Structure 1
Amino acid sequence: MNSILNIIKKLRPIHRVVLSIIISGLIFIIVPSELPVLPRILITWLGFAITYISICWITIFTMSVTEIIRKASIEDGSKTFVFLFVILASFACLFTVLLMVMGFNDKNISQWFMVLIAVGSMISSWALVHTLYTFHYAHLYYKTKGGKGLDYPGDEKPDYLDFAYFSFVMGCTFQVSDVEISSKEIRRVALFHGLLSFALNTFVVALTINIIAGLIH
């Protein structure tokens, strides 16, 4: 078990992407071809997102602060990688809402099935965005010696769970009351993150409205 965890911890972002693509590709092949294209694509995306998130969170839970300081830049990937991945996940959320609107008009598909994969895709897309930002904040913090840019309460060096706390609370409330931002670069990243989170949360509300309206009719 430990050897498997060590292998997963050593995976770079590109390796995680490749592994997730392979698994989602297998899922696409396994899914019955009788299903319409939109549900098949969403199920495939769901497989990709869950695989990638699972790998990331194994790293988040098992990597020590010492390892984070040494590998933060590697775990984050490039700025282009982070940006493109976040945009991909955001468009997946849009695609989910589109599927909900179109899918409820298809009488050949169970409404509850549509709800399940749509909600699952929305949640996984939302979680993927903030998981990516977890690694990005860690990289920005530890790219300077000793780490700076986010002032956490206490004297302990923050680990990935601390950065996940900052990222996900920012994603939920657009602010974190007990962590102060002291870096201009992180402040700008947090600004974009907050705006993106507002848009994603708006789509969650839109999805909920579509689900209720679809089930009523």
Structure 2
Amino acid sequence: MVVAADAFFFTYLAMTALSLPYLDADYLSAHAAGSDEPVWAIFLVTLGAVVVAVVSLFLMINDTRWSAPLQAVLALAAVPLGWFAIHMMAAIHYAHEYWQPEDGEKGGKRGAAPRGGLEFPATPRPRGSDFVYFAYVVGMTAQTSDVAITRQSMRTFNLAHAVVSFFFNTVLVAAAVNLAVSLGS
């Protein structure tokens, strides 16, 4: 289970990171209508990441069979890989949601006004890295920073993202404390 989760998270992150330089405003505008992960899929992966992280840490702490170094590394790697994957999926969803044509037309007409929903300072046409920045700030702090949310659908997704981030981060802190206590005794 841990190896499969690590492989999925790593592959998703690598493929997304390799495509990130090409996700400029023109590309996102032209392709916004296609291939967005549905919100239920994002939360399913999030739930999976939380389960893998918690189970991996629990097994490593409490099961003597997990004492092999490779198994410990794989278990520990699942935690940050899952965390990064959750927020990268959210970033891609924010980009798709932002760049959907305002008129609801599918097909991504070049020059069509986007739905928007986020206002990035001094950035009238945000690119992929802007959405990654926004998603990871929410992931780290469970709040927004300098980006204003201006659309209800974006606010709804952001609220869910912030709540999930808060609880995921809380579980990680609790697991880290548990690990430190168990290693110290």
TM-score, shorter chain, exceeding 0.5: yes
Instruction: Work out whether 1:127 is the aligned partner of 2:127.
Output: no
The corresponding residue for 2:96 is 139
* Candidates 10, 13, 16, aligned match of 1:56: 16
Cα RMSD for the two superposed structures: 1.9
For 1:176-195, list aligned pairs within 5 A: 176-195=144-163
Deviation at 1:211, TM superposition (A): 2.4
Is 1:97–1:203's contact at 8 Å kept on the other side of the alignment?
A: no
Q: How many Å separate the matches in 1 of 2:38 and 2:155?
A: 18
The corresponding residue for 2:173 is 205
Change (3 A) 1:177 1:119: same
Change (3 A) 1:73 1:57: farther
Deviation at 1:60, TM superposition (A): 1.8
* Candidates 46, 50, 58, aligned match of 1:98: 58
Which moves more between the two structures, 161-170 or 43-52? 43-52
Is 2:24–2:126's contact at 8 Å kept on the other side of the alignment?
A: no
The corresponding residue for 1:18 is none
The aligned amino acid for 1:44 is A
Instruction: Work out whether 1:149 is the aligned partner of 2:109.
Output: no
Q: Deviations over 1:6-62 (max 9, x none)?
A: xxxxxxxxxxxxxxxxxxxxxxxxxxxxxxxxxxx2122111210111111112222
Q: Which has the higher contact order (CA 8 A, sep 6+)?
A: 2
Is 1:149–1:181's contact at 8 Å kept on the other side of the alignment?
A: yes
Deviation at 1:87, TM superposition (A): 2.4
The aligned amino acid for 1:199 is F
Change (3 A) 1:150 1:93: same
Is 1:171–1:197's contact at 8 Å kept on the other side of the alignment?
A: yes
The aligned amino acid for 2:29 is I
Deviation at 1:70, TM superposition (A): 1.4
- TM-score (normalised: structure 1): 0.73
Q: How many residue pairs end up in the alignment?
A: 174
Unaligned runs of 5+ in 1: 1-40
Deviation at 1:66, TM superposition (A): 0.9
The aligned amino acid for 1:68 is L
Q: How many Å separate the matches in 2 of 1:155 and 1:134?
A: 16
Q: Helix, strand or coil: the match of 2:153?
A: helix
Q: How many Å separate the matches in 1 of 2:56 and 2:66?
A: 15
For 1:33-72, list aligned pairs within 5 A: 41-72=1-32
Is 2:10–2:81's contact at 8 Å kept on the other side of the alignment?
A: yes
The corresponding residue for 2:73 is 116
- TM-score (normalised: structure 2): 0.84
Which moves more between the two structures, 193-202 or 80-89? 80-89
Q: How many Å separate the matches in 2 of 1:116 and 1:206?
A: 19
Q: How many Å separate the matches in 2 of 1:130 and 1:73?
A: 21
Change (3 A) 1:155 1:167: closer
Q: How many Å separate the matches in 1 of 2:123 and 2:163?
A: 31
